[in-house]
């Protein structure tokens, strides 16, 4: 997903002179083709996220479309004020491409776990947040980022993530994609956890429960119209995200459902990382297993909400 | 370099300060000390250095100017009104709910390139503008005024590293070095010395100048850059509160609120009596 995203920045930059790339201190060889062929619009500015984001804002105020890339935690936490003021307040066309959203960097420990990035970015007015589910979807997203107004946070998965998106379903920033259709339960997810939702929906179908899977690739602005329209049909709603349950997709969905005032109220549960600093290392898969961000846990949660039992 | 405290203010410098005092009184608050230390720097920039057309504030060929120490905005607003970017009446609505001008500059104000107020942002934004000029082959120059207290921010030095690396001759950083920050002197809070050596070490061409001597400022700022292959750092030695004896280097005058008409009158009297 990361490689596809950066490759596309290069392809887009060849066609559009407004496009600039800024990295911090990325892996050797990253975008070598861009650096060699368009050196005037390629910047590697060192481990200085505050400066990079401010500099990107300055270029964008001059009409550039600036793609910034580094690790998700450093793009959200380290330079948060630059993101809020330089990007959000000025509402400029800077795209933050964030490596390792979620627990991708599990072996590297808590400094590198971007489990709060969506919550942080949701609090920034004018910010758009997109979490594609695979490289194919990234290909559909990137051309739309060129002229989309305002700053965008693009959350990347691990790379080599299984392809689960459907090329037949059109991708539009801000428009949720209905992946499967069902009237019993609504599974809302974003990013790579779409795979879990789809597997859970298939298993639930086999046991007679029909599920709508709504891929909320754009967490902000949230497609409330799609969310409420699907929510109105079902008894129970479950959100699945590789993120803290505080303030992310689950929080966003909960806010909308609560204010919609369904009567009777919908059963609702968030699957994600609890309000803790994850302990231990391992891999993305083992950490997600540990916190129950799994197909099995999704099925169990649905059964609990719909039948009052766990399987 | 002459002594910033000893400089006698001419009529234009006093007139600009009178407008600042009237604006302060209208809003009943403001960072007086910071504004007074900036007056001659901004005056020379807007009178003699920056290229702009106040009737077309977004003209692509204009020089870019960012007041990174946004709390000095009273001096900036006064210059913007003086040059016709904004109507003078706007000054009298300073900090009012129906006004355009608040306690820190915002980018929707004609002539203001970037919203500042939180310190340590303007240099990186200006750096991006200067790099854009290089990419586009544009001839505009970028000027950023920072404060000495602001120079405590790490982001200032991140931006300095980048500007030095890119050898940006079209980029000038002016430090309003009045040697006082909010709590106390810079020497006490966070000593910046040797300041010129720091900028030199980051790859800048450095000039020290009396920040209240308009002739000295003009001499340096109309001959930029001193080195075409380096960004410029102009260290402007100033006096916080310059022009009002009882406010000069007086920490109580960093920011004032509940300013009354009588306070304003007293300030004007002291200004007229100033050296």
Number of domains comprising chain B: 1
Query: What is the enclosing helix (H) or strand (E) of A256?
Result: helix A249-260
Report the residue from A45, A54, A59 with minimal CB separation from B132.
A59
**Is A177-307 assigned to CATH 3.40.50.720?**
no
* Sheet of B205-210, strand order: B64-67, B142-147, B171-177, B232-237, B205-210
Structural domain harbouring B185? 11-272
Say yes or no to pLDDT of B100 above 90.
yes
| Cβ burial B24-62 (10 Å sphere, 16+ → b, else e) | bbbbbbbbbbbbbbbbbbbbbbbeebbebebeebeeeeb
Q: Inter-axis angle of helices B11-27 and B73-83, to 10 degrees?
A: 110
In the three-class reduction of DSSP (H, G, I as helix; E, B as strand; rest coil), residue A177 is classed as strand
B2 occurs within a structural domain? no
Q: DSSP assignment of A66-118, as one string?
A: EEEEEEHHIIIIITHHIIIIIIIITT--EEEEEES-BTTTGGG-GGG-BSSHH
Tens place of pLDDT per residue across chain A (311 aa): 899 999 999 999 999 999 999 999 999 999 999 999 999 999 999 999 999 999 999 999 999 999 999 999 999 999 999 999 999 999 999 999 999 999 999 999 999 999 999 999 999 999 999 999 999 999 999 999 999 999 999 999 888 899 999 999 999 999 999 999 999 999 999 999 999 999 999 999 999 999 999 999 999 999 999 999 999 999 999 999 999 999 999 999 999 999 999 999 999 999 999 999 998 999 999 999 999 999 999 999 999 999 875 44
State whether B131 and A58 contact (CB < 8 Å): yes
**B114-118, long-range: CB < 8 A, 24+ apart:** B114/A57, B114/A58, B114/A61, B114/A86, B114/A90, B114/B66, B115/A85, B115/A89, B115/A90, B115/B70, B116/B66, B116/B67, B116/B68, B116/B69, B116/B70, B117/B70, B117/B71, B118/A81, B118/A85, B118/B70
Query: What is the enclosing helix (H) or strand (E) of A139?
Result: helix A135-145
Question: CB of B162 within 8 A of CB of A55?
Answer: yes
Closest CA to B118 of B167, B153, B148: B153
HSE, side-chain direction, 13 A CA sphere, residue B180 = 25
**What is the reported pTM?**
0.97
| Cβ burial B208-232 (10 Å sphere, 16+ → b, else e) | bbbbbbbebbbebbeebbbeeebbb
**Residue B56 C-alpha, separation from nearest chain A C-alpha, in angstroms:** 16
Average pLDDT over all residues of chain B: 96
Structure tokens at B41: 């720097």
Question: CB of A60 within 8 A of CB of A96?
Answer: no
**Domain CATH number, residue B257:** 3.40.50.970
In this predicted structure, what is the pLDDT of residue A309? 54
CA gap B65, B114 in Å, rounded? 9
Q: What is the pairing mode between strands A65-71 and A42-44? A: unpaired
In this predicted structure, what is the pLDDT of residue A311? 46
A interface test, pick of B125, B154, B160 with most A CB neighbours within 10 Å: B125
In this predicted structure, what is the pLDDT of residue B255? 87
Report the residue from B118, B125, B158 with minimal CB separation from A58.
B125
The DSSP 8-state label assigned to residue A192 in this structure reads G
Q: Count chain A–chain B contacts defined by CB atoms under 8 A.
A: 90
Report the residue from A40, A51, A61 with minimal CB separation from B158.
A51
User: DSSP 3-state helix, strand, coil percentages of chain B (rounded to 5)?
Assistant: 45, 15, 45
The pLDDT confidence band at residue B275, using thresholds 50, 70 and 90, is: low
Burial class (CB in 10 A: 0-12, 13-18, 19+), A279: exposed
Question: CB of B148 within 8 A of CB of B192?
Answer: yes
CA gap A80, A135 in Å, rounded? 27
> Over the stretch B84-99, which tens digit does the pLDDT of each residue have?
999 999 999 999 999 9
> Over the stretch A40-95, which tens digit does the pLDDT of each residue have?
999 999 999 999 999 999 999 999 999 999 999 999 999 999 999 999 999 999 99
Closest CA to A177 of A207, A230, A214: A214
In this predicted structure, what is the pLDDT of residue A46? 97
Tally of CB atoms within 10 A around B266: 14
CA gap A86, B121 in Å, rounded? 8
B4 occurs within a structural domain? no
Share of chain B above pLDDT 90, in %: 94
Residue A85's alpha-carbon distances to A58, A116, A175, B116, B203, in angstroms, are: 12, 19, 27, 8, 28
Structure tokens at B220: 């340096």
Report the residue from B115, B118, B128 with minimal CB separation from A55.
B128
Closest CA to B83 of B103, B104, B63: B63
Query: What is the enclosing helix (H) or strand (E) of B29?
Result: strand B29-30
Structure tokens at A184: 């019993």
**Residue A47 C-alpha, separation from nearest chain B C-alpha, in angstroms:** 9
Closest CA to A298 of A204, A178, A233, A229: A204
Q: How many residues does chain B have?
A: 275
Residue found under tokens 């406010």 = B247
Query: What is the enclosing helix (H) or strand (E) of B66?
Result: strand B64-67
Q: What is the mean pLDDT of residues B146-158?
A: 98
CATH architecture of A2-155: 3-Layer(aba) Sandwich (3.40)
Q: In B, which residues are within 8 Å of A82 by CB distance? A: 121, 124, 155
Q: In A, which residues are within 8 Å of B65 by CB distance? A: none
Query: What is the enclosing helix (H) or strand (E) of A21?
Result: strand A19-23
The C-alpha angle A84, B233, B74, rounded to 5 degrees, equals 55
B6 occurs within a structural domain? no
Q: Is B43 in CB contact (< 8 Å) with chain A?
A: no
Nearest Cα residue in chain B from A91 = B107
Closest CA to B142 of B17, B226, B232: B232
Give the residue extent of every domain in chain A.
Answer: 2-155, 177-307
Q: In A, which residues are within 8 Å of B134 by CB distance? A: 40
B54 occurs within a structural domain? yes
Structure tokens at B181: 């920050």
B179 occurs within a structural domain? yes
Fold equal for A2-155 and A177-307: yes
Query: What is the enclosing helix (H) or strand (E) of A206?
Result: helix A194-206
B228 occurs within a structural domain? yes
Nearest Cα residue in chain A from B131 = A59
Report the residue from A64, A82, A90 with minimal CB separation from B107.
A90
HSE, side-chain direction, 13 A CA sphere, residue B65 = 26
Residue found under tokens 């500015």 = A45
Structure tokens at A223: 């497609």
């Amino acid at each position: 997903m990361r490689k596809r995203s950066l490759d596309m920045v290069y392809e887009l930059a060849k066609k559009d002179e407004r496009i600039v790339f800024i990295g911090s201190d990325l892996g050797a060889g990253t975008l070598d083709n861009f650096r060699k062929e368009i050196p005037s619009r390629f910047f590697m500015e060192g481990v200085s996220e505050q400066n990079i984001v401010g500099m990107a804002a300055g270029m964008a105020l001059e009409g550039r479309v600036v793609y910034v890339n580094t690790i998700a935690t450093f793009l959200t936490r380290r330079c948060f004020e630059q993101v809020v003021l330089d990007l959000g307040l000025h509402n400029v066309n800077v795209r933050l491409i964030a490596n390792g959203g979620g627990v991708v960097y599990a072996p590297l420990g808590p400094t590198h776990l971007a489990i709060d990035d969506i919550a942080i970015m949701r609090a920034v007015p004018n910010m758009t947040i997109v979490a594609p589910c695979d490289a194919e979807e990234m290909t559909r997203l990137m051309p739309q980022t060129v002229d989309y107004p305002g700053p965008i946070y693009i959350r990347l998965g691990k790379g080599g993530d299984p392809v689960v998106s459907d090329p037949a379903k059109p991708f539009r920033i801000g428009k949720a994609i209905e992946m499967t259709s069902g009237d019993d339960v609504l599974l809302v997810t974003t990013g790579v956890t779409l795979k879990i939702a789809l597997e859970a929906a298939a298993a639930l179908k086999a046991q007679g429960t029909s599920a709508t899977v709504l891929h909320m690739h754009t967490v902000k602005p949230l497609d409330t119209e799609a969310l409420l329209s699907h929510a109105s049909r079902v008894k129970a709603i479950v959100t699945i995200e590789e993120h803290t349950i505080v303030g992310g997709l689950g929080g966003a969905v909960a806010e909308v459902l609560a204010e919609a005032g369904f009567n009777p109220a919908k059963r609702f549960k968030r699957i994600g990382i609890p309000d803790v600093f994850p302990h231990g290392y391992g891999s993305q898969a083992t950490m997600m297993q540990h916190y129950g961000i799994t197909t099995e846990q999704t099925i169990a949660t649905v059964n609990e909400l719909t039948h009052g039992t766990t399987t | 370099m002459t002594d910033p405290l000893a400089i006698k203010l001419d009529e234009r410098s006093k007139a600009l300060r009178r407008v600042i005092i009237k604006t302060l009184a209208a809003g009943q608050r403001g960072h007086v000390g910071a504004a007074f230390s900036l007056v001659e720097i901004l005056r020379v920039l807007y009178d003699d250095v920056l290229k702009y057309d106040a009737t077309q504030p977004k003209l692509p060929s204009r020089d870019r100017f960012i007041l990174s120490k946004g709390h000095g905005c009273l001096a900036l607003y006064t210059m913007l009104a003086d040059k016709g970017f904004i109507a003078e009446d706007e000054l009298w609505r300073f900090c009012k709910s129906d006004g355009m001008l608040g306690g820190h500059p915002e980018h929707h104000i004609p002539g203001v390139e970037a919203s500042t107020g939180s310190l340590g942002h303007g240099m990186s934004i200006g750096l991006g503008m200067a790099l854009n000029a290089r990419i586009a082959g544009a001839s505009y120059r970028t000027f950023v005024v920072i404060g000495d207290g602001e120079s405590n921010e790490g982001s200032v030095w991140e931006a300095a590293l980048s500007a030095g690396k890119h050898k940006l001759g079209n980029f000038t950083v002016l430090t309003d070095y009045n040697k006082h920050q909010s709590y106390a002197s810079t020497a006490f809070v966070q000593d910046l010395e040797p300041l010129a050596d720091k900028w030199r070490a980051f790859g800048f061409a450095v000039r020290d100048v009396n920040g209240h001597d308009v002739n000295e400022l003009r001499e340096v700022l109309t001959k930029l850059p001193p080195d075409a292959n380096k960004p410029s750092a102009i260290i402007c030695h100033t006096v916080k509160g310059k022009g009002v004896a009882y406010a000069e280097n007086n920490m109580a005058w960093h920011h004032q609120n509940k300013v009354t008409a009588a306070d304003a009158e007293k300030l004007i009297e002291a200004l007229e009596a100033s050296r």
